[in-house]
Amino acid sequence: MDSIYEIGSCQLSRQGPSLSRQRQDDCRRSGFDVAAREAYLAVYHAAEAYIVEQTSKAVKTHRDARSQLNRLAQHERIGSEFLTFLAEGYKFKTIADYGIGSATGAISAADATWAIDTADRFIDVIAQLLPS
């Protein structure tokens, strides 16, 4: 008799890989991983839009976005908590996308909630700074 494990809506069998590699990866991710990653990406893309608006130059990497936003934040009302989140939130993307990092699989409900709340506030700040 085969053992079947259920993870969320996914069923995995000991018979071998019956699911595609991508589907298996999706099943291993928790909803918290995905929520935190999406919140980080929302912050990253809002920062990217602001940087392009202010400098007319596209950012090329996540590190470049952090550096440019740090520089621009010195002259605007962008709180340091957002700069910190852009740096620390990258781990959420790394964990969710690749399953690697010092806290692999450790994205909690509290982490995801914090990420979503921070993203919401950051987007509000950027929306006020961008021309309408």
CATH architecture of 30-129: Up-down Bundle (1.20)
pLDDT of 29 reads 54
Average pLDDT over residues 99-127: 83
pLDDT of 15 reads 46
Q: Which residue has the higher pLDDT, 9 or 58?
A: 58
Q: What is the 3-state secondary structure (H, E, C) of 105-121?
A: CCCCHHHHHHHHHHHHH
Residue 65 · residue 57 · CB < 8 Å: no
By three-state DSSP, how is residue 97 classified?
helix
Q: What is the DSSP letter of 122?
A: H
How many Cβ atoms sit within 10 Å of the Cβ of residue 53?
13
In which band, very low, low, confident or very high, does the pLDDT at 27 lie, cut at 50, 70 and 90?
Answer: low
Q: What is the DSSP letter of 75?
A: T
The overall average pLDDT reported for the chain is 79
**What is the tally of helices (H) and strands (E) in the chain?**
6, 2
The domain segmentation of the chain, as residue ranges, is: 30-129
Consecutive H or E run containing 55: helix 31-55
Query: Whole-model pTM?
Result: 0.73
Summarize pLDDT for 29-65 with one digit per residue, the tens: 568 888 999 999 999 999 999 999 999 999 999 999 9
